[in-house]
Amino acid sequence: MTPTVEAGSETLRPPAAPVTLEQTGLSLDVIVQLAVKTLHLAGELGGVELAHRLGLTFPAVEPALDTLIGQHQCEIVGGALVGRASYRYRITDAGRARAMLFLRDNQYVGFAPVPVATYRRYMAQFATATSSKVTRARIRDAFAHLVISDGVLDQLGPAINEGHSMFVYGPPGNGKTVISQAIRNVLDGEIAIPHALEAEGSIIRIFDPVVHDPLPPPQATPQLDGGVRYDARWVRCRRPMVMVGGELRLESLDLNSQVGSGFSRAPVQTVANGGVLVIDDFGRQQCSPRELLNRWIVPLESRVDYLTLATGQKLELPFMVLVVFATNLQPSELVDEAFLRRIRYKIFAQGPTPEEFAAIFSNCCRESGVAFKPSLVAHLFTTWYEPRNLPLRGCHPRDIIRHALSLAEYLDQPRSLTTELLDSACAGYFVRDEHSVKSLA
């Protein structure tokens, strides 16, 4: 059934629950297979309970039960007289034999899948419903918990508005990963994630409880088909944020068929659809930057991805994800100019100024529950940074404070910062260069 846009908002409601087999968009055979496999594992279920496990209404499941009863693969063993939805259904020996055949080919059991055509329509409407642009004020509010220069924020805003892709690069320790993660705070609205998709007889898992953040189920309202409930095959979620790092392989960008399972898991870019995909430590993956970008040249431009099913058929899926490449390396050292043109925004995460360093130090003190004293920052500058010509990094305040407080706890001292504790923390944090080590010898 078609999803709707809530009046006066940018929230795209999940589709309404199908009340007939036809409205599910699935064939009778798909529902029969799921029903008999579910009964095989449970033994006996009420009609409403079986429908609930499939994420469907009972009228949508009833034709499959009629088929199984007609073929003597399940039987009615009791229930109230108020209707067939209250009957209890038990699998027979013939049903178990058929379920075992199904499970041998496809072990997927759970919520009924959503047809891939329905998913494409939903994502097209999602793109329209969430097309509003962020403003400078919105960007500053979303990044208020971070100390970032206005120049960087004013580069991030247009990149997020275009919803394309971006490099966030610069020296290590200046918050590239945190900046990438905070982009999610700017994204408006919510998204409905299907538990699984059905395409050409193949089933693809999409919803991942490790990655997706479910929202409370919506209340049915009179404005939606007279108050019918939403399709339980979809999960209302926050717009996703998926992060991958050096473990990313080229094969992770295609369907991951589980050996012997008969179904596939969606690749990271599909799981992140409607949200942000952060490629952390770009350039250090188990495939070359050129191979990775070659794989995504077409999707980044056309917003359409092509995956290969286990049958060898090509599957077209939306590619509606904001890709952020975070790296410590110079983009020009990773790929050539032709590739860089396709990643239109390059945002340099520079080291903090002394004033920004002090602000970060103050924030970290507050988060750690200790008093902030400007004299401590001045001590770090005059004792450590200036004599040793150390570059300022955004991660230093957090790391040094944690180190100092751990040392205070070890020494059974009060939980507060002193110059002595900071000196000990810095001595154990900064690496001595070769000249310093030789002079000590």
Q: Which domain holds residue 152?
A: 115-348
* 125/263 same-domain check: yes
Counted domains in the chain: 3
* 3-state DSSP of 345-382: EEEECCCCCHHHHHHHHHHHHHHHCCCCCHHHHHHHHH
Whether 9 is in a domain gets the answer: no
Cα 79 to Cα 275: distance, rounded to the nearest angstrom: 46
pTM (predicted TM-score)? 0.83
Whether 332 is in a domain gets the answer: yes
Domain stops at, among 348, 380, 412: 348
Give one word for 228, left, alpha or beta, with left for phi > 0 and alpha for psi -120 to 50: beta
300: enclosing H helix or E strand:
helix 289-302
Domain holding 394: CATH number? 1.10.8
* 181/197 same-domain check: yes
Whether 20 is in a domain gets the answer: no
Whether 294 is in a domain gets the answer: yes
* 74/219 same-domain check: no
* 103/121 same-domain check: no
Tokens representing residue 71 in the block: 């073929």
Whether 4 is in a domain gets the answer: no
Which residues lie below 8 Å from residue 284, measured CB to CB, with a gap of 6+? 245, 246
Q: What is the pLDDT of residue 277?
A: 92
Q: Do the strands 304-308 and 241-244 form a parallel or antiparallel pair, or are they unpaired?
A: unpaired
* 144/263 same-domain check: yes
Whether 88 is in a domain gets the answer: yes
Domain stops at, among 67, 84, 109: 109
Cα 331 to Cα 311: distance, rounded to the nearest angstrom: 38
- In angstroms, how far is CA 89 from the centroid of its own chain? 38
Domain holding 89: CATH number? 1.10.10.10
* 133/272 same-domain check: yes
Cα 188 to Cα 163: distance, rounded to the nearest angstrom: 12
C-alpha dihedral sign at 352, 357, 363, 365: positive
pLDDT, averaged across the chain: 85
* 180/46 same-domain check: no
Tokens representing residue 110 in the block: 């759970």
* 255/367 same-domain check: no
Tokens representing residue 69 in the block: 């009863």
* 152/210 same-domain check: yes
Shortest CA distance to 296 belongs to which of 337, 275, 274, 268? 268
* 436/328 same-domain check: no
Could you tell me the pLDDT band of residue 240, with boundaries at 50, 70 and 90?
Answer: very high
pLDDT tens-digit readout, 183-238? 888 887 889 999 999 998 889 999 999 999 998 765 544 344 444 578 999 999 99
Domain stops at, among 109, 129, 156: 109
Tokens representing residue 300 in the block: 């980044």
117: enclosing H helix or E strand:
helix 116-129
Domain holding 243: CATH number? 3.40.50.300
Whether 21 is in a domain gets the answer: no
Q: What is the pLDDT of residue 10?
A: 53
Q: What are phi and psi of 266, to 5 degrees?
A: -70, 150
